[in-house]
Structures are given as C-alpha cells and as structure tokens.
Structure 1
Amino acid sequence: MTDHKPGGDLALGGQRVHERLTQEEPELIARVLTRIQDEVADYRRLPVEELAGDIARITQQAVRAFARSLREDRQLNDAELRQIGASAVRRAEEGFPLEAVLTAYHVGAREIFAVGSAEAGSADVADLLDVADRVLAFVGTVTGAVTRGYLEELRTKVGQEHTARRTLLSVLADGGPVDVVARSAGITLPARYLVLSVELGPHADEASPGVDADIAIRRKLRRFLAAFERSCGEGVLASLDGPGGLVLLPLAGRLSAVPEWHALVDAAGRAAGVDVLAAADTATPPEVRLVAARTGEVLDVLRWFGRPPGLYRLDDVLVEYQLTRPGEARDRLAAVLAPLDAHPELVETLSAYLELDTNRRRTAARLHVHPNTVDYRLRRVRDLTGIDPLHPAGLPRIIAALAARRATVPRN
C-alpha cells in the first residue's frame, strides 16, 4: 500500500489542483451547466430562471465543496452534504427525475476532473491517479446524499402527515367530524382560518418553448405555498392545481388585520412570479365548508366583472355578487345580450371596452382595429340590445348584463 499524499499537495502541471479549481471556478461552473443541458435532456426543459438560479447555485456549492475537501484532505462534511441533499429535495418537490439529477452530478464530476487535470504531464501520473480516485469518491458520496434527500422527500409527500392533512382539508371543505379527524392526526386546529379561494395566472415559463410546462406549474405552486408556510407555519392547508384552488391559513397575530391579508397574498404572488386573484373571508373550522363555497362564488364574480389581480372580500363586490345570484332577474339580464350570440366580435369589443374603462382608443389598440371600428361595433350593440354603451346612462345595465351572461355561460 502506498503512502497517502495530502489532497492539498496534489498538483498537476505544476499547480495544486484545488487552487486551479478555485481560480477557474466561474468558467468551470459555466462549462458544467452547458454540458448538463447538452447531455441531460430533462434539464433542457427547466425554466431559464431555475437553471441560472438554483441549479447554478448548487453547482457552485458542489465545486467549492470538492475543492475544500481536497485542500483539507477530507471527505465532504455534514453541512456540505446537507446542501446537496436540500437541492435534491427541491427537485423531488418539482417531480424532476432522480435519474437526471444523478446524471448531472456525474457530468459535473467529469468536468471538474477535466479542468483540474488540463495541464497534467507525464511526470504527474501518480497525482493524476490520486485525483481521479478522489473524484470517484466524491461522486459516490454525492450520489448517496442526493438519493437520500430525494427519496426522503418522496416518503414525506406520501407519508402519514401528508395524508392526515389532506384528509383534514377534505373534511373541512366537504363537512364532517373535523375535531375527530384532527385529534386522530395529532393536529391542533386554530380558532379561525383565513379562507382563500385563489386563481393563479400562468407563469411565463409555462408557455416557453422547450420548457416542461408541468414542472413549471409545480414549481409555481411550490413557491406560492412556501410563501404562506414561511409566514404561517405548518398549519397551512391547500388544495391547488395549475389555475388555483383553496388555501386555509391559520389566523394568528400577523394575520389579524385585512392589510396583512393583502400583503401576504401579494408576497405569495411575487414568490410564484404570477398574478393572483383571491377572494377571502374568515371561518371557524366548522364554518369552513360554507365560507369556502362563498369565497368560491366571490371569485367567480371577480372573474365575471374582470376585476384586476388582488385580494377581495364579499364587501368589495356586494352589488356585483347580488346581481349574479341565480334567479329570474339574472336570467333576464343575460338574455339582454342574447342578440349578440351571433356576433362574437361585438361581445369581444364590448368586453374590452368595459375592462378598459370605456376608453375607445385603448380598446382599439387591444383589438388591433381602428377606433372608428370600435365606435361602429358599440353602435351595433346598441341597435341589437337597446342599451347604449356609449352613453353613461346605459353603462350600469350593460355591465350587469355582461356579468349575468358570464355567470350563465361561464367562459372557458
């Protein structure tokens, strides 16, 4: 057995390997990222923001961890392995393939070796073999950390706590023995919840060519919920898909006032990188079922009236809510616009005109038509319905009729 040479003394081409890796770190990281995208197809479907952010960050951490371990002649320590494991957890949360993550680390290790040995000569064979052995040991250690972190997250997602919380949310939203379920799951119910029915706008990555839309959606939802969990702890309950859903936040000190509700929803939207339209109210656990149904109805009203992103309560849309309740009056209001069914361009123009505060020039710009065309179409609406959207007296009725129409025949 040969004598052990300290890692900090390993030199190739007249330069210590750990010093070369540190000196060329920016170029090395760029090479690793490029090679990963070239050789691992799943990474090409990731959003650019994630590649330049989280993936670049963990690549840098891994390169630095190897250089330090070489300089200090040791294996990776617990803190370094936790960083690598935490990154694997995030990939598992996004549903990113474990195989792709492991392959990326192997690609990175090969690039580390290539850079570190670039100047090696015939006199460096012994050190070159030692460096290669240390790179292989590094890959083995990293592979174990990645696999553990990834699989532990999967077990968590399907584990007992996850199942219990999903069951509790289902009972709260659908009605049932809430206290019994909470006790059996070991969950302490708050005195009140902030009930949010939310609609999330699409993230730009969802429509980006070459980006896996499913991963982009899961990432959006993860970031959205993480913002709530940072503020409200583990008591957050949510049922969300791509477009939105239901969120229950335990009411605590920082959520005691309405301005804090607005701030928290705004922060969650920024974290997810999307616009958020939300209807909010508070409820005791037994009241969640009824309140969630009502906030869902308020969210529909917000959509029908084209309200901008933000958080709203029933009090903010009392008139609009009442106008769109099912009944004979709503049906008759919707029927006012029935003559427009054969003229979709008139409905489109009327909708844009009202959404843009009756500004005909902005309406023309949105529809890519001449302002005179907008005037002509609005006069046609008047002729067909008997209500003049160009006259202030006609606006309340035409707005109500359009909302009633949307409530009767919801848009896709």
Structure 2
Amino acid sequence: MCAPSRTVRWTMNLEAQVQAYADRLGRPIIVFDVEFNVIAFSVHDRDVDHARLAIILSHKGSSRARESIREYRVGQADAPVRIPPLDGGMTRHVAPVRHEGQLVGYVSSTIPDETPDEQLAEDDAIREGRAQIGVILAAMALGHREDEDRALRLVTALVDGDPAQRTRAADELLTGSLVSPVPHYTVITLSTPAADANTATLRLVLDRALSVIPVFPRLKAVGAVIDGEAVIVVPYEIDRQRLAALLDIPAFSELHAGIGGAHSPLTDAHHSRREAGIAARGAAVDPSRGRIVHWDELGLDRILLQLPLQELSTSDLPAPVQRLLDNQSGPDLAETLEAYLDCGCDAQRTAQELHVHRSTLYYRLDRVRAIADIDLSDGSVRRELHTALRVATLAGLR
C-alpha cells in the first residue's frame, strides 16, 4: 500500500482513539509528538480556551509550555503530571505517551486549578486508551522516517546521480505519486551561510515549504535535506510571495533560498539543482540581492559565482582596480565608479542615483582616473573595471 493511504488510515484511527480518550477523561485533549508538534486534538462542546486555540492553530506547543513539560520531567514520569498555570493560563494535566517503553508523545488537557488529585486518578480504560494512541504515534513516526528515507534516496539520485540513476528515480517519484507530473520542474535550495547548519531547522522548513511554495497547492512537491541544505523539487512554479513569507518566520531568519530555472522532463531536474545552488551562493555572498535569489535574474553573476571566490585576493584583480581599492578613499571611489558604469556612463543619471551634484560626480571620476591611471572613454577598460569590481564584491574584497 502506498504511503498516502497508510497515513490516512493512521490519522483516522488516531482521531477515533483521541476522541474516545477525551470522552473517557471528560475534557478536551491535545496530542503532541516528541517534538511538540500537534498531531491530533479532540472535539468538544464548550468554548475553547485561548491558549488551546493558539496551539491548535499554530500546530506547535508554545516554547514556554515545552519548557515546563521538560522542567516537570513529564517524559520520565510513569503517570500524568500536574503543571501549574503559565502566564495567567489554566493548570495542565500532561501525560507521557509510550510504545514499548519508548516516549512517542504527550497528551495534554487543561483542568480547573481547584481540581483535587483524586478526581484525576486514571483507570485501566484510560491507560489502555493512551497505550493505543502510543501504538499509532509510533507507527506514524516510523512511517514518517521511512518516507523521509525514501525521499532522500530518490531526490539525491535525481539531482546528484548518473543518467541511469536519474531515470530510475524520476520513474519511482512519478509512479509512486510523490511528485506531480507536469510540463517542467524547478528546484529550490534552502540553506544557511553558517558551516554548521541546523538539520532540525532545515527539516522543519522543508516540511512547511513542501506544502506552501508550489504555485498550485494541489501539485505535490518532493524534497530532502541533503548535505546541509533542503533541496525541493517543485512541479511547475514556485510562489515567491509564500516563500518570502515562510523565510520571514523568526525560526528561519538565518536561511536563504536559491531558485533554479524550469527544466523538463523530471530527469533534467539536476540542471535546476545546479542553478539553484549557484543562486543560493549569490544570496550568501551578496546580501544586497536579498535572501531569495533566482537563477533567471543573475545575469553575469551566473558565471562569476562559479569562480573560486574564496581563493581570490586583491592581487588577482586587474592593476587599476587594485590601485583604486588600495587608496584611502578607494571604497567610496569604487562605489562611485561602479554606479557610473551601472548607469551606462550617463553622468546625469549617476548623480541622481548617488544623490550628489554633477560637479561632485565629475570631481570623483577625475580622482578615479588619476588613482587608477585609466581612460574611462575606452570601452574595453570600462568592461574590465565593471567585471573586476563585481568580482571584488562577490569575493568580499571591498
């Protein structure tokens, strides 16, 4: 049976078990996995408290609630633990959920502060109900790990394998309905400039990105965390606004994204993967581009970003640029020169861009000519200067 059908079956069984457990307790409950993600919650007749509503809507327990569950060592307890109110909320009754002795989650409910302990005593039916929830949570966790392993194997083969491996991976992804069949595919990479990328953060952003960034939500994307970055194969197109909103979440504030071009068929997704990696490098080395960089917008940087930038030094730059950057006023003059070249050597437009008087611009350009010993009327010199200044920026030399 394919993974989606298995997941649906587990979810239906879990919902039934959770509701039966809540009915036996006589109060609504929320079920978390060991990472405090909301897995299920019961229905109820009375008004829901604000804290519970916030948890349900965010699909995640609050950081303060997670800390209190750890503080009261619920994971090591043999029975439910009473946790005092937090920040004006209600008292919580939190029970560990285990399967074969392994912690697989928590069941949480709120109770009136004055509830005596004897009213919270468990009977065999409640304990058995929690055990049944544990069986399902363990099965879901195992299935999730199996799905992750399968996705890692197939996506790695698709974007990094040889032609035969790419063909087999594409066939399995399509026949297994792990990715939707469409005219073309785009690869996106999500990573952090830090050498020690947080795998948990990458897995979390991967899970969310799979469901939010395809332009058409009904189309199924597939992804995996490979070598310290989340790699996602998206059918058709990426919704950049939803991607930007995702990266605006505080937990993902250190991440940046590279978006490759669209390629067809699926076996050619490795080309988009390569392009996405180059675009991501652009986001990492040039913050002025922003945290989301698209291959289609790179221009000349498509080539420059493939240079061994980390190995370059000022001595690798053309002599005029070296002289300019070595001068005390070099950084400001280099900025003026680059703006002038960006504006097609249009003095009026450059002055407007830099918010300076035209006479000030002419003075600065004369200083550039004198220090670098160059003729700005020579087109080949302008090309050399423009390219060298861009390389210096990407290599962090200015």
TM-score normalised by structure 2 residue count: 0.50
Question: What TM-score do the two structures reach when normalised by structure 1?
Answer: 0.49
Q: Larger relative CO (CA 8 A, sep 6+): 1 or 2?
A: 1
Bigger fraction of residues in strand: 2
Q: Which has the higher helix share?
A: 1
